Structure 1
Amino acid sequence: MWYGLTSTHSPLRFGRKRQMLLQPKGPSFSSTQLDRQSQIRESFFRTYRMYAKPSWSHAHVAPLSLLSKNPDNEDGATIVDSLTALHIMNLREEFEAALDQTINMDFQVSNAKGEATLTPETTIRCLGAILSTYELLGKNQTKLLHKAQELGNQLQNSWNFNQSAVPYPWLHFGPNQKDEKKTITIAQAASLTLEFNRLSHWTGNNSYRARADESSRHIMNNPPAFPGRYSPSLTSANGPPVREIVRWADQLNSFLEYGIKYWQLVGEPAMYYMKFWQDSVDSLIEHLLQWSPGNNQPYLAGYSQARGGQQSDMFQLGCFAPGNWMLGGKLLQNEAIYMLGLGMAETCCRTDPSSREGQGQNKLTEKKDNQVLETTLMLRPEVAKSIWYAWRFTGDPVWQERAWSLFQASEKHFKATGGYYARNDAKDSGSAKHNSTETFLFGEFFKYLYLTFTERDYLSLDDWVFSQGHPFKIDPSRELGNLREFIEQTKT
């Protein structure tokens, strides 16, 4: 396939108001879609019910032992992260129970054991879910907004040490003590803009937005490993970058993902983020874009100066990039970026461990065509998410078939009595199983599969911005700005 890579230049002028339509008309809703939607909904319901029965107050459930787990000390994280999926799938009884549980949670303490909480993950999964649910319910649930503000106030305390520009990643909610020994990833430090902006918008308190903006700009102003590419970790909240091996994947993913989405949500005030995202993508195309030698599929390699430069592999975690590039390409009216995103989505479908199309790998490399190097599978949502974006943008039923293959393979190979588990080798049924069902299975994986079989205008990308898994409503009157004027202003 030719991906139209002639130029990554984007238009310098956008309409003052949002004019573009991201989603073209697709095929009519069919009985097959409805049947598949129902099967995905039933699998979600069965797994969620197994979690909710024994462990309302815990973060995860162990699918093999049926015991509760709190790996990041996030009590109730699955309940909160599941709110929007429960609402979208119209599971009313379960939604009402989860909503009541969320409203009555006590965010004044970390958990029953008083252990530290991973604050960036709590922002994305819990604060984002509460605010998104508030919008989905028509912005009339005052108690829900108060709960979001209560949580936001606790999360703000992770900045309140040494006047740090970025938040400390671990925080004891009760005494508000940080753990200085922990490093913070770039994704953790700079993936807060959507949630904190919405909290400021609905409460009228601008301090949340200002904190998140300060953190993101601090990261964007750090020297990159090379133009547009950032080391994944900081030594402390204000320290220099460490761990120089970088790739568009874990520890950097949502930092890069949120740049274009923040501009999509708020428009002109976030032009700096949009320009940064565009520059990063241009640099990645120049430095890290690779084509697999066997089937000529595009993928993004890694980079390590200490190891001699480019590292020719792409991890499954990097498979959020296709959907993000498709979205950015559409928003910027940049066909080259959009087509590369579409091509990378095909790459990820061919290599996802849980896909029937895939070879069972979690990482591909140029050494051999789709060589298997790592095959640990966690039923992560990145491939399902990019498939959904491809379906929404193209209307091509092939993407629904790929989503269905992903679902069927997950049902066949990774389902247990108490949920779904990871496995050391996706191709070896006898390999070690991981006794954990993480919150993103509910908050993202099932949700994106389900949405691939709903009406295409339901939660349209012309009207909603999805964070990692939770939709926020776009203000149709927001202005997108003028890129040429912005570039001239930044020069001066």
Structure 2
Amino acid sequence: MHPPLPLLLLLLSLPLLPTHARRVQHPNLVQTPLMKSRAEEVKQAFSEAFEDYRTYAWGHDEVAPMTKNWSDTRNGWGATIVDSLSTMLVMGLDEMFLSALPYISTIDFTRPKVYGAVSVFETIIRYVGGLLSAYELSGKQHQVLVQQAEVLGHKLALAWTEGRGNGTDVKMNMPYTWMNFETDQPAVGAVGLATAGTNILEFHSLSAHTGNRTFLTLAERSMAALLRTTQYRPGLFGESYSPQTDTGISDKVSFGPNSDSFYEYLIKYAHMTGNEDPVYLQTWLDGVNSAMETMMFKSTVGDWTWLSNWSNRTGHDYTFSHLACYLPGNWLLGARLAHNSTIFATALEIAESCAHTYSSSPLGIGPEAWHYVPAGVTSTLVAHPYAGSRMGEMYEQRGYWVQDSKFVLRPEVVESMFYAWRITGDDVWQERVWAAFEAVRKYCKAPASYASLVTVETTESVKKDESESFFYAELMKYFYLTFADPDVIHLDRYTITTEAHPLLLATEEFAYGPEPEWVIGDPQAQLPLTTADGCGGPGGTGMGQLMMLMDIYVPALERCSSTRR
């Protein structure tokens, strides 16, 4: 008996498939008519917002949405224009892109238009990343985009040098945080983990397109220096460093501000390069396992899963943030690359918890930061909201109480829901993204473009006169990509920077062995556990437990002991 023809063709084609072909994105995604109509609505909203910026703030960094004015918080180079270029191209708004392109050649990136130092971090992620992504997405036709990125690259490279111009030219491994573009000297001081570790995607691309490896060398040097510093638990690093000594000056471990995108870029650089240097993926895995073992907790109300901040000196801070909600999307990406179903399942739990902050808030938009009470931790040092207070009632209703109620048009919750859709194929994530889009459209639409909110804890929106460029680069892009043809920015061809600028992968292979069956199965099916159980169980590092015995404050160890299954 001969096999049917389709099966025979499949069997014959198997030897031709790459041994280590990656498969991050779910293979069975299609754009439905509903998705197409929703994508068009998002595109229309973006187009109207950008035209408002063009009318009231062209050439400035941001539009002031309530007063129909402008502001310059990113050196006056037109951050909204540069940050929006990749979104225009992703949405197929080619005419809008071409209308903005002439402005790019007029920018003098050698000096700010407004007085003040230049942020190395913000300039790399918004300007360098935006220019290079637009170059790739436009078919590598407009060399001016690379030329301008290179001008910035040479200026920013000086942040790796102390004392330039006074005869002491000492090369630094890590960059300083601020650069004076007038004097070509950095402001000597501490650097955050995120600043030191959020340049390797952009500088890899810049070196590739200019043929100048200096940029990548600087980024690699910074990452290598960070990886040589103290790991407070395997794969977990403090949030600030001295570039002069390559040593940590803070033992606070967090996935939120000052640290977040360092961890994000570990797995994304492995993704970009096909795991060419395994240290990035391995460090990422070590950090995720340590976080699951010692920093991850369930809330006593609602059973929501979040992480804590942690310090060896002060113990755990049971706080999570909108900014840190990039994490479940990042963990889903890494879980797929590393074939780790435990991380995969845990990431979905955290994604559900982040989505819950939207669905449970009065406006349908989540707050900036919140507290929770960790289950299984009996220490008297754990903060509780006062019974009968507004915060106490909020906790009993939602499983968290708000620490900071503002909304600054951040993308991270929607970003993770986008990854959950593209990787699992479960359309519940699309519905959640659509609800978020409708809420933002309803409550953040301003006289000009969209505005941040003073608070989400009200039934009527109270707007601020500010509109960050990442609204155009990130939030609107993730809204659109959730409903676009899934082949647009396919996750097996692109990695997406922390500012949501897609960059082409250097290779479409990934050296991590054959893929397990669960990766393309029913997204609702129970996944097999492959490594850590979240408390140092079978297959986990277990190192977090050992290290915690050396700490003064050990509530996570108590939790793991009480929840062992």
TM-score, normalization: structure 1? 0.89
- 1:359–1:77 distance in 2 versus 1, CA, 3 Å: closer
Counterpart of 2:427? Answer: 397
Q: CA deviation at 1:461?
A: 0.5
1:173 matched to 2:203: no
Partner of 1:103: 105
| Pair 1:302-2:309 in alignment | yes
Match of 1:190 in 2: 197
1:147, distance to aligned residue in structure 2 (A): 1.9
Aligned to 1:291: 298
Matches within 5 A, 1:36-435: 36-109=38-111, 111-161=112-162, 162-181=170-189, 183-235=190-242, 238=245, 240-307=247-314, 309-352=315-358, 362-366=369-373, 367=384, 368=395, 369-429=399-459, 433-435=463-465
Asked if the contact 1:323–1:387 (Cα under 8 Å) also holds between the matched residues in 2, the reply is: yes
Q: CA deviation at 1:194?
A: 0.5
For 1:456, the equivalent position in structure 2 comes to 486
Distance 1:58 1:344, change over 3 A: same
Q: 1:55 offset after TM fit, Å?
A: 2.5
How many equivalent pairs are there?
466
- What is the CA distance between 1:372 and its match in structure 2? 2.4
Secondary structure in 2 matching 1:82 = helix
1:342-363 Cα shifts (integer Å, max 9, x gaps): 1111110101387866675632
Letter in 2 for 1:71: T
Greater Rg by CA:
2
Higher mean alpha-carbon deviation, 230-239 vs 69-78, is at 230-239
SS class of match (2:276): helix
* Alpha-carbon separation, structure 2, partners of 1:424 and 1:477: 43
Q: Shift of the alpha carbon at 1:287?
A: 0.9
1:282 positional shift? 0.8
Instruction: Tell me how far apart the structure 1 counterparts of residues 350 and 275 of structure 2 sit (CA, whole Å).
Output: 29
What one-letter code is carried by the residue in structure 2 that aligns with 1:129?
Answer: G
**Does the 8 Å contact 2:83/2:127 carry over to 1?**
yes
- Assess if the C-alpha contact under 8 Å between 2:59 and 2:76 holds in 1: no
Distance 1:473 1:135 in 2: 7
CA deviation after TM superposition for structure 1 residue 237, in Å: 5.4
Displacement of 1:154 after TM fit?
Answer: 1.4
CA contact (8 A) 1:301 1:312 kept: yes
The Cα offsets for residues 402-447 of structure 1, whole Å up to 9 and x where unpaired, read as: 0011011111222211222223320225686432100110110000
Cα distance in 1, alignment partners of residues 506 and 216 from structure 2: 17
**Secondary structure of the residue that 1:420 maps to in structure 2?**
coil
Q: Give the 3 Å change call, closer, same or farther, for CA 359–316 of structure 1 in structure 2.
A: closer
* More moved, 330-339 vs 365-374: 365-374
- 1-structure distance, mates of 2:145, 2:266: 27
Alpha-carbon distance in 2 for matches of 1:126, 1:88? 17
- In structure 2, distance between residues paired with 1:113 and 1:404: 38
Paired AA for residue 351 in structure 2: A
**Change beyond 3 A, Cα 1:198–1:379:** same
Task: Give the deviation of 1:267 after TM superposition.
Answer: 2.3
Structure 2 segments unaligned to the other structure (5+ residues) = 1-16, 163-169, 374-383, 385-394, 515-565
Deviation track 1:283-330 (CA, whole Å, cap 9, x = no partner) reads 1011101112222222111113332x1222211111000000000000
* RMSD (Å) for aligned C-alpha atoms: 2.3
Measure how far apart 1:80 and its partner are.
0.6
- Checking the alignment, whether the CA contact within 8 Å between 2:22 and 2:509 is kept in structure 1 is no
CA displacement, residues 143-185 of structure 1 (integer Å, 9 cap, x when unaligned): 322222222111111112132111122112232122225x321
**C-alpha contact 2:363 2:443 (8 A) present in aligned 1:** no
Change (3 A) 1:41 1:384: same
One-letter code of the match for 1:230?
F
| Identity in percent | 31
Choose which of 465, 474, 481 in structure 1 pairs with 2:495.
465
Say whether the 8 Å CA contact 2:274–2:506 is kept in structure 1: no
RCO greater where, 1 or 2, for CA within 8 Å and sep 6 or more? Answer: 1
Question: Aligned residue for 2:12?
Answer: none
Tell me, yes or no, if the aligned pair for 1:356 and 1:406 is still in contact at 8 Å. no
Q: Structure 1, unaligned stretches of length 5 or more?
A: 1-14, 484-492
List per-residue Cα deviations over 1:386-412 (Å, max 9, x = no partner): 011001011111111100110111112
Tell me if the contact between 1:377 and 1:424 (Cα under 8 Å) persists in the aligned partners.
yes
**Structure 1 CA distance for aligned equivalents of residues 117 and 367 of structure 2:** 36
